Amino acid sequence: MSKLLIRPSRTGTGRIAHVTPESAAWTYVGFDLHRLANGETAAGETGKRETCLVFVTGRGEVTVGGRSLGTLGERMSPFEGKPWSVYLPQGSAWSVTARTPVELAVCTAPGLGGGLPARVIGPDDLGQEVRGKGTNTRYVTNILPENEPADSLLVVEVITPGGHTSSYPPHKHDRDDLPRESLLEETYYHRLNPPQGFAFQRVYTDADETGKRALDEAIAIEDGDIVLVPEGYHPCAACHGYDLYYLNVMAGPKRTWKFHNAPEHAWLMKA
């Protein structure tokens, strides 16, 4: 199995995935996934990191610093409508108690002492856009884009219809070379509809003068898989009949998304 692929438990409840900068051998991004039965609780403290809680599915009562933010969440599938989320600055204690079965993503990155308040990010707060054309069309929901306040985190959802490509033409963001390119680590949390399907993701770097690549992984994705993107290009392909959802978490030394297209495929941007 690829070293970039994390396969959470398919059964049981509780925290079913745990990605830290140490476990991923990088610097910025953390990602946890909790599966909760009705009545179960997930809780944590942000410490020196900021956090975005994303209700991938289900409804739960959210408490921050002992204060209830109410029962949040709406959709029962990530393929149905926009999510509810909560932004938490560093130094926050939080809990989510499920009022239906819940799948909760906990997205983290370094806090920079910005002093931002905790806030609920509701579906009406979220911008959506269509990217690409033809079989490269996909549907994007911006949860925590760079024009919304945060210290480090960038969080976005994408739905790619079956038979379409996504994160394509291949692009990368692994160099701190602004304004041309920003250095951003990234996780992909994948879901499929129907869930028995599969998709593909390739993570690869440019070839050197001998034609060798420092990183080149082709990964078969199943429902619930997480893919780490420490560097390189990272396109996805959804197979016919199976729509692909993914939740992206990105962070780096500067909070901006500036990417570099693979030059040999850049012609697709004008096609």
Average pLDDT for 223-235: 98
Residue 156 has pLDDT above 80, yes or no: yes
Residue 269 has pLDDT above 90, yes or no: no
Q: What is the pTM of this model?
A: 0.96
Residue 232 has pLDDT above 90, yes or no: yes
> 21: helix, coil or strand?
helix
pLDDT at residue 207, as a whole number? 92
The yes or no reply on domain 5-269 and CATH 1.20.1260.10 is: no
Residue 114 has pLDDT above 80, yes or no: no
CB 172 within 8 A of CB 259: yes
Which of the four pLDDT bands, split at 50, 70 and 90, describes residue 254?
Answer: very high
CB 239 within 8 A of CB 163: yes
Average pLDDT for 136-149: 97
Average pLDDT for 168-183: 96
Residue 190 has pLDDT above 80, yes or no: yes
CB 140 within 8 A of CB 128: yes
Residue 123 has pLDDT above 90, yes or no: yes
pLDDT at residue 107, as a whole number? 98
Amino acid, res. 158: V
pLDDT at residue 211, as a whole number? 87
**Percentage of the residues of the chain whose pLDDT score is greater than 90:** 94
CA distance 239 to 267: 24
β-sheet bridge partners, residue 52: 87, 107
Residue 271 has pLDDT above 80, yes or no: no
Residue 61 has pLDDT above 90, yes or no: yes
β-sheet bridge partners, residue 115: none
Write out the two tokens for 261: 């297209």
Which of the four pLDDT bands, split at 50, 70 and 90, describes residue 223?
Answer: very high
Which of the four pLDDT bands, split at 50, 70 and 90, describes residue 52?
Answer: very high
Residue 230 has pLDDT above 90, yes or no: yes
Average pLDDT for 181-210: 97
Average pLDDT for 115-135: 95
**Domain ranges in the chain?**
5-269
CA distance 56 to 126: 14
CA geometry: angle at 99 spanning 97 and 101, to 5°? 95
pLDDT at residue 1, as a whole number? 79
CA distance 226 to 15: 14
